[in-house]
Amino acid sequence: RQPAENPLYCERMPRSMTLATFKEHYAEYLGCSVDDFRLWALVSRVNKTLRCDAPLVAESHSMTLIQLKESKSGKWPELRLYCEMRSDDVPDDFDGKVPPELFLIHLRFYDPSRQQITGVGHTYVHANQTVRDIMPRLREVAELNPDTPITVYEEVKPSLIDLMDPNATFRKAEISTGDIICFQVSTEADQGKYRLPTVPDYFEEVQLRVYVRFVPQPARDDVDDFANGDSATEDGTVGPEALSPVLIASRKTPYDDVANWLAEQLGMRDPLKLRFHTVMLNGQTRASVRRMQTTTLGDMLPNYMYKQPPPNSLGVPEYTVMYERLEVDILQIDSMRNVRVTYVGKSMKEELQLEVLVPKVGLAQTLKEAVYGKVESALRSVTLRNGDTTPPKPLKLRIYTVASHRFDREVAGDERLS
């Protein structure tokens, strides 16, 4: 995605346009002179990173854009360039080639208190300079005090961040033009103060960051499972936006943290009354996710292998996880069983399909009480949807077991559940 303060310039240009003409067009876009900047060719390295290679000097200005693309960006469908604005530390010959012992490096500053990394420009370094030699420059661009201790890293790629030795030269550190240096205020003394105290921690979080939409388990057509309980609003309903919140977090986020977050979004008091189900790419759900000390958000997501989940409105891949509201907390669910009940009213048209949780060991009276409460709640929901605010009359229920689609026997209440 493009940051608003520094958007990428992307336009279709005539293949026969020369680089000199394009520079004039780009200068007009920037609102400056063609002498205030120069363009660099971007190349793909062996480690699949994109870096500056060499400035396009005066000899290249007569080349057409298609010639530049074929020579510099042959593997890509577009010509990729980097714009360097003239600054105080540029070489004397700004329009000429950069000396081989001089490297252009990009600088990024990480603030652990905000968990944010920011580009702070670029600078030139000599191959025989040490990392310590440029620390005053780093403090200056980050607006830090001159005596602030800082730690410097090389960003080889987001998944590979190397700590740099302050006494090593850039030649020894194998730094070259186009490399990226990240730095931060040293946090050895108070690492426990921040959730992501160092640059490697931040990039690990970015690598593992996922967008996950939590959707409710589909309710039956005639029963609104969410119109009662502690996530309902004052009028007994919950909006669809509130029921499908999106979490942006690391795959390593613990199960309980995810449950606590979702419970807060739904207005629930007990996060243990939530159960999660993995949703596959074809929309099918798998078995519920087991709650263990080692279970994380990543365990709730399907393994797409070489496929990505569908993108959201921001163009970012978005996973889907289904959640289910339970009548009892998930710690007790292993000792319970699910019983499907069909409620029939005064006529056969008054029919509701219900599911109740009852202990695996106990008396049938527990089943009767659970069915009574579930039916009463379901009827209340149906009445509210029909616009009738009159409370339903007390129920007189008789419960039967069913075998081969026939009534088998009436449940008295003193039978044992087995």
Would the pLDDT of 236 be above 50?
A: no
Hey, which of 120-129, 233-242, 273-282 has the most confident mean pLDDT? 120-129
- Of all residues in the chain, the percent with pLDDT exceeding 70 is 89
Least confident interval from 67-71, 75-79, 158-162:
75-79
Q: Which residues are paired to 319 by β-bridges?
A: 212
pLDDT at 340: 82
Mean pLDDT, residues 307-329: 84
Least confident interval from 29-33, 145-149, 365-369:
365-369
Q: 412 pLDDT band (50/70/90 cuts)?
A: confident
Identify which has the larger pLDDT, 219 or 275: 275
Would the pLDDT of 226 be above 50?
A: no
Mean pLDDT, residues 296-314: 80
pLDDT digits (tens, 9 = 90+) for 23-47: 999 999 989 999 889 999 888 888 8
Mean pLDDT, residues 181-193: 84
Hey, which of 235-244, 276-285, 377-386 has the most confident mean pLDDT? 276-285
Would the pLDDT of 354 be above 90?
A: no
pLDDT at 416: 80
Contacts 24+ apart (CB under 8 A), 135-140: 135/166, 138/107, 138/109, 138/181, 138/183
Would the pLDDT of 392 be above 70?
A: no
Query: What average pLDDT does the structure give for the chain?
Result: 83
Identify which has the larger pLDDT, 336 or 148: 148
Global pTM value: 0.67
